[in-house]
């Protein structure tokens, strides 16, 4: 009961006129920053940090958290309407969001994204409120072997999907892993795979660069080829009644994805080093694996939009947890929040919940309020985004191209990355013509750089003995499940081979 009264106080603090205004302004700004390709919550929070010194610390962090929240909602918008991931956290949203939009169901996709985000955020808030200190110790019990086991499970969900061509999926994963290995080796510090001795490769290939290339440029080329110059006219119209119908359809066809994303997203989010991007990709994979119709994924199913969107909101709340309780940022955005907290005179760490009750609960209370504000503001803007889609594709295509290039440059400010985006775009188009699935490559480039060092750290811990993945109480079961999922389709393949 103490928690409820603390939470009540926190919500009252968040509802004070100044704080409420900060939430509404923050969420709105976040929504637009998130919707701009290349600009994610990191940029938003970094750019707006200065204004937070005008208000007291609790108001400041509430404002930044509201931007963070808004950006998580906003990322889905360009993923769905343009097929360019608005932020790295929304890449998985393009997998099904874009196909839905092409079928003239953009409004369903956008409403699903908003509703799933809201539910994901709410579930995460409840977990956070009830179990924060306990979960901090769960996060700590995840050492390198546990994190590697989890990554293995994530890969397994992508390999073990019935329906897709398995050899092609494996090829796609390996291709992503190789791209992810470019740059410096974390363990030895030595440079690897510096192709043609170009210095740009030393910094590794940014995930967003690959995603914008594959989904922005690649998707645009694909659409051009599919429509063969014919003008596609999508004429979705938005009415309040239509939106209500979409909302109920999104719940009916997306509840499963929402549920998986909400829970899984939170737990991946609280692990240090993970964050919202791996959370959304993993939730997509798990939702597809557990689905009765996995073939619908990638062709436009509300579940496929709901899972990553619920997960990225849930994970962004989750990643606040290691930041507040351990003083260790779970994502780039929380690293900036952490810097802000230090200057506001707050020491993040195990003592924060004890020493700064009002601040902590004010922040948690604001999560709830921000979430409500974000879903309402997002729903209110959906007709505007839909209206954009009514432009003929001949106008939209150059816009997508420009936004992809500008977005890629904004993220890293390096010309080299722009060439990569173009090359990836062309490569993706070619691979897609030959029916190679691209999502696994995208997953691999995100998870590979987490999986590889944790694998090597684990083996160093055990002096090279791989049984470390099976004997530890948390890592063991996860590894076993992952291996079963990986080898299940191989067995099926073998059996089919015998019969033929």
- List interacting residues with other proteins (CB under 8 A): 24-25, 28-29, 32, 46-51, 53, 139-144, 183-191, 199, 202-204, 272-273, 322, 326-329, 332, 335-336, 338-340, 342-343, 347-351, 376-377, 380-381, 383-384, 413, 415, 453, 457, 460-461, 463
Q: For other proteins, which is the closer residue by CB, 126 or 338?
A: 338
Of 138 and 290, CB closest to other proteins: 138
Q: Which is nearer to other proteins, 48 or 360 (CB)?
A: 48
| Nearest-approach distance from CB 468 to other proteins, in angstroms | 11
Looking at beta carbons only, is 166 or 181 nearer to other proteins? 181
* Residue 32 vs 255, nearer CB to other proteins: 32
The distance of closest approach from Cβ of residue 336 to other proteins in the complex, given in angstroms and rounded to an integer, is 7
- DSSP alpha helices (H): ranges in 36-105? 41-48, 57-81, 91-102
Q: Is 72 in contact with 390 (CB distance < 8 Å)?
A: no
Q: Which is nearer to other proteins, 100 or 326 (CB)?
A: 326
Angle between helices 276-290 and 144-159 (to 10 degrees): 50
**C-beta of 493: minimal distance to other proteins in Å?**
37
Query: Based on CB atoms, which residue is closest to other proteins, 187 or 493?
Result: 187
Q: Is the distance from CB of 10 to CB of 301 less than 8 angstroms?
A: no
CA angle 366, 411, 27 (to 5 degrees): 20
* C-beta atoms surrounding 354 within 10 Å: 9
Contact 461, 452 (CB under 8 A): no
* 3-state DSSP assignment of residue 211: helix
Nearer to other proteins (CB atom), residue 127 or residue 142: 142
Question: What is the torsional sign of CA 251, 255, 257, 263?
Answer: positive
Shorter beta-carbon distance to other proteins: residue 162 or 350? 350
The distance of Cα 279 from the centroid of its chain, to the nearest Å, equals: 6
CB of 355 to other proteins, least distance (A): 9
Q: How far is the CB of 340 from other proteins (least distance, A)?
A: 6
Cα 248 to Cα 243: distance, rounded to the nearest angstrom: 9
Cβ 329 to other proteins shortest distance, Å: 5
CB of 188 to other proteins, least distance (A): 8
CB of 159 to other proteins, least distance (A): 27
Residue-wise burial string across 399-410, b where 16 or more C-beta atoms lie within 10 A, e elsewhere: ebbebbbbbbeb
Instruction: For residue 304, give the 3-state DSSP assignment.
Output: helix
Residue located via tokens 């067995």: 491
Closest distance of CB 294 from other proteins, Å: 35
The Cα 321–Cα 325 span in angstroms is: 6
Buried b (16+ CB within 10 A) or exposed e, 38-63: bbbbbbbbeebbeebeebebbbbbbb
Separation in Å, CA 235 to CA 272, 303, 349, 373: 44, 24, 52, 29
Angstrom distance (rounded) from CA 129 to CA 299: 37
CB of residue 266 vs other proteins: minimum separation in angstroms? 19
CB of 71 to other proteins, least distance (A): 14
Q: Token pair for residue 70?
A: 């808004």
**CB of 126 or CB of 410, closer to other proteins:** 410
- Please, what is the minimum distance in Å from the beta carbon of residue 231 to other proteins? 29
Between residues 111 and 485, which has the closer beta carbon with respect to other proteins? 111
228, 275 Cβ separation under 8 angstroms: no
Q: Containing H/E element for 307? A: helix 302-318
The residue (of 159 and 360) whose beta carbon lies closer to other proteins is 360
DSSP letters for 376-432: HHHHHHHHHHHHHHTS-HHHHHHHHHHHHHHHHHHHH--HHHHHHHHHHHHHHHHHH
Say if residues 79 and 400 touch (Cβ distance below 8 Å).
no
């Amino acid at each position: 009961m103490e928690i409820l009264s603390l939470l009540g106080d926190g919500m009252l603090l968040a509802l004070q006129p100044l704080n409420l205004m900060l939430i509404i302004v923050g969420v709105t700004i976040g929504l637009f920053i998130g919707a701009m390709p290349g600009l994610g919550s990191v940029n938003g929070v970094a750019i707006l940090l200065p204004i937070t010194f005008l208000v007291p610390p609790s108001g400041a962090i509430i404002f930044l958290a509201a931007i963070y929240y808004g950006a998580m909602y906003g990322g889905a918008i360009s993923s769905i309407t343009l097929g360019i991931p608005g932020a790295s956290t929304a890449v998985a949203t393009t997998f099904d969001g874009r196909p839905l939009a092409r079928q003239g169901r953009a409004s369903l996709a956008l409403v699903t994204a908003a509703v799933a985000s809201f539910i994901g955020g709410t579930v995460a808030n409840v977990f956070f409120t009830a179990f924060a200190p306990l979960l901090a110790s769960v996060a700590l019990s995840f050492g390198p072997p546990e994190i590697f086991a989890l990554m293995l499970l994530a890969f397994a969900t992508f390999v073990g999907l019935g329906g897709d061509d398995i050899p092609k999926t494996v090829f796609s994963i390996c291709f992503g892993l190789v791209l992810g290995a470019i740059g410096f080796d974390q363990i030895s510090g030595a440079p690897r795979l510096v192709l043609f001795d170009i210095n740009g490769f030393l910094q590794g290939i940014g995930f967003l660069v690959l995603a914008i290339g594959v989904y922005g440029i690649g998707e645009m080329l694909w659409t051009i080829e599919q429509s063969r110059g014919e003008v596609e006219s999508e004429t979705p119209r938005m009415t309040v009644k239509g939106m209500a119908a979409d909302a109920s359809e999104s719940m009916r066809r997306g509840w499963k994805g929402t549920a998986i994303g909400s829970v899984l997203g939170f737990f991946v989010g609280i692990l240090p080093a993970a964050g919202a991007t791996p959370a959304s990709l993993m939730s997509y994979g798990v939702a597809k694996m557990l689905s009765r119709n996995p073939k619908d994924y990638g062709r436009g199913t509300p579940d496929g939009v709901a899972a990553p969107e619920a997960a990225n909101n849930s994970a962004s709340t989750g990643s606040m947890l290691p930041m507040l309780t351990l003083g260790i940022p779970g994502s780039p955005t929380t690293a900036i929040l952490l810097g802000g907290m230090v200057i506001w005179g707050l020491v993040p760490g195990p003592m924060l919940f004890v020493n700064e009750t009002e601040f902590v609960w004010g922040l948690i209370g604001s999560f709830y309020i921000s979430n409500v504000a974000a879903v309402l503001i997002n729903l209110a803007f959906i007709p505007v985004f839909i209206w954009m889609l009514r432009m003929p594709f001949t106008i939209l295509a150059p816009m997508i191209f420009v936004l992809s290039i500008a977005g890629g440059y904004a993220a890293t400010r390096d010309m080299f990355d722009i060439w990569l985006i173009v090359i990836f775009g062309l490569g993706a188009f070619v691979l897609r013509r030959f029916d190679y699935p691209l999502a696994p490559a995208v997953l691999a480039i995100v998870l590979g750089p987490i999986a590889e060092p944790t694998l090597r750290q684990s083996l160093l811990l055990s002096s090279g003995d791989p049984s470390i993945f099976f004997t530890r109480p948390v890592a063991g079961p996860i590894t076993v499940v992952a291996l079963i999922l990986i080898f299940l389709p191989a067995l099926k393949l073998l059996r089919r081979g015998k019969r033929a």
